Amino acid sequence: MAKTITLTQTDYDRLKALTSVDPDPSDLDKNAFQELRAELDRAVVVDPKEIDPNVVTVNSRVLIQDVATGEEKEYTLVFPLAADFSVGKISVLVPLGTALLGFRKGDVVEWKVPGGLRKFKIKKVLYQPEAAGNFES
């Protein structure tokens, strides 16, 4: 059974709207939408003021570590239009973004890559908008 994830009501509503229409096949991989929809279906939804500060929400900045190599990377999880991989902003619609969403510090998440799976540990939530008092991200 898949582990439960935690989302704020704000993130849930925006992500549900984002995934309510089928994507243009030229824009995005349909699998990304299906994966995100599956995550939304298993989410526990809480008020933004009640979210644990160690949970990865949209616009959170996280430090992750590749379990196999020990390499650490920092990413900010964003909505698709704000994504810019060159500066570490990853969309909730890419496999790693979907994998991180709703998990917390200490969790190990799996990211599908060509040829298999990679595992990453969430080392730290460096910034979470809700913990900083921003409930409208």
25 compared with 81, residue with greater pLDDT: 81
Residue 136: inside a domain: no
Residues 6 or more apart from 44 whose CB is under 8 A from it? Answer: 4, 5, 6, 7
Looking at residue 1, what is its pLDDT?
Answer: 45
Mean pLDDT within 76-92 = 94
Average pLDDT of the residues in 36-61: 92
CATH at 12? 3.10.50.30
23 pLDDT exceeds 90?
no
Any domain includes 47: yes
Residue 134 in domain: no
The range of the structural domain enclosing residue 16 comes to 5-127
Weakest mean pLDDT among 31-40, 45-54, 99-108, 123-132 = 31-40
Sort residue 70 into left (φ over 0), alpha (ψ -120 to 50) or beta.
Answer: left
Question: In this predicted structure, what is the pLDDT of residue 28?
Answer: 54
Say how many domains are in the chain: 1
